Structure 1
Amino acid sequence: MSKKPVIIGVAGGSGSGKTTVANEIYCKFPEQSILMIEQDAYYKDQTHLPMEERLKTNYDHPLAFDNDLLLDHLKRLVNRQPVEKPVYDYANHTRSDEVVNVEPRDVIILEGILILEDERLRDVMDIKLFVDTDSDLRIIRRMMRDIQDRGRTIDSVIDQYTSVVRPMHLQFIEPTKRYADIIVPEGGHNHVAIDLMVAKIKTVLEEKAMI
């Protein structure tokens, strides 16, 4: 019987570089048994709500996520069963009709701002990372992303950051740093931390190849 997959959690605030860290690790294994699960894919389905209610959704709050479904999918993958990962439609602020078929792998990277907030998710992780980046860098990165990629205005980004993103970060995300096994400063620019994680994963894959 094959051994349990290794689950690596990569958390951190918006604009911290956690997605870059997760992608950097993932891309080091193009031919290997590794997959990525993004918590953002598991925002709650809101098709039952009118659009004006959907627009009020606070995507930085723990209640925005369907962690029950995420946990169920992780357990299925651990048991070597495929899952249908949801796809979120940001334009309509609800889950899309599309799904992504995900086959089980030896290493699972779970990435998201609040993956360490839920004790049930923490309990299935073997390694927990928190990408810790100064708030001034995080808002600059978020501003560049939202303006360039999402057509937002500077005023709207700043308003959202000060009214929602920052208070939610301080209340829910920053405190989860204490659950991390490894704290990675400066996100994707920290090549030493990424190389250490890659070396650890290589060891895991080599061990599983010997089973």
Structure 2
Amino acid sequence: MNKPYIVGLAGGSGSGKSSFIRDLAALLPPAVVAVVQQDNYYLPRSQQKADGNGKINFDVPDAIDRKTLFNDVEMLRNGCPVEKEEYTFNHPDKKPQILTIAPAPIVFVEGLFVFHFSELARLFDVRIFLDADDSVMLERRLLRDASERGYPMEEVLYQWHHHVMPAYQQFLMPYRSEAHIVVNNNTDYRKALEVMADHLHSII
């Protein structure tokens, strides 16, 4: 089996990473895409570190099970399926699903720190950085975390100012210049989707 073409996609919280991957996959033939989301590799809450105010900080690389994330991408790269328990965020009573990720010709690896993890970044054939204004990302984060993940708005705002933006400056922006493609997603990314879909169609 030929090695898959691996696409790494990073960007700030609320930049639209998951939406971009979903919409890009929809433009490709079925069963040619595998998606690995860093969000499913958070360590258990008991292993997370608190900030100076005693608040757990999920927006640091140490919050991620980096070794398992890398190993799972390597398994897909070698043609092996992966099983991973989904992360349920602020829903402790929700029974997590077991996600089965089948090997595919194209593998998307998406998350905040996928460029920062050097051993992972070396596997990427192309790197995409999703960009958006801070105000746009905050608006999307408020909508997502309050409505979908069950976080109080005060907590979302605290995380944004004390965790999210410092992490963005330290662990994401230094890698923006290393991306092959930078997508501005203040409004929409249709043109970038078309370009990437054409590129990936030429590979499969």
Fold agreement, TM-score > 0.5 = yes
Amino acid at match of 1:59: F
> For residues 187 and 56 of structure 2, what CA distance do their matches in structure 1 show?
29
Inter-CA distance 97–145: structure 2 relative to 1 (3 Å threshold): closer
Q: Name 2:34's counterpart in structure 1.
A: 35
Q: Name 1:127's counterpart in structure 2.
A: 126
Q: Name 1:57's counterpart in structure 2.
A: 56
Larger radius of gyration: 1
Alpha-carbon offset, residue 148 of structure 1: 2.5
- Does structure 1 residue 75 correspond to structure 2 residue 74? yes
Within-5 A mapping of 1:171-186 = 171-186=170-185
What's the TM-score, normalizing by structure 2?
Answer: 0.88
Within-5 A mapping of 1:106-117 = 106-117=105-116
1:142-161 CA distance string (max 9 Å, x none): 11222322344433322221
Amino acid at match of 2:28: F
> For residues 106 and 25 of structure 2, what CA distance do their matches in structure 1 show?
10
Cα RMSD between the aligned structures? 2.4
Q: Name 2:137's counterpart in structure 1.
A: 138
> For residues 103 and 40 of structure 1, what CA distance do their matches in structure 2 show?
18
> For residues 24 and 177 of structure 1, what CA distance do their matches in structure 2 show?
22
Instruction: Please say if residues 9 and 109 of structure 1, whose CA atoms lie closer than 8 Å, have aligned partners that are also in contact.
Output: yes
1:101-121 CA distance string (max 9 Å, x none): 221110001111111111111
What's the TM-score, normalizing by structure 1?
Answer: 0.85
Instruction: Please say if residues 133 and 186 of structure 1, whose CA atoms lie closer than 8 Å, have aligned partners that are also in contact.
Output: yes
Instruction: Please say if residues 42 and 65 of structure 1, whose CA atoms lie closer than 8 Å, have aligned partners that are also in contact.
Output: yes
Q: Name 1:87's counterpart in structure 2.
A: 86
Aligned partner of residue 124 in structure 1, secondary structure? coil
- Which runs of at least 4 in structure 1 moved beyond 4 Å after TM superposition? 50-53
Percent identity between matched residues is 29
> Whose helix fraction is larger, Structure 1's or Structure 2's?
1
The unaligned stretches of length 5 or more in structure 1 are 206-211
Aligned partner of residue 146 in structure 1, secondary structure? helix
Instruction: Please say if residues 35 and 101 of structure 2, whose CA atoms lie closer than 8 Å, have aligned partners that are also in contact.
Output: no
> For residues 120 and 187 of structure 2, what CA distance do their matches in structure 1 show?
23
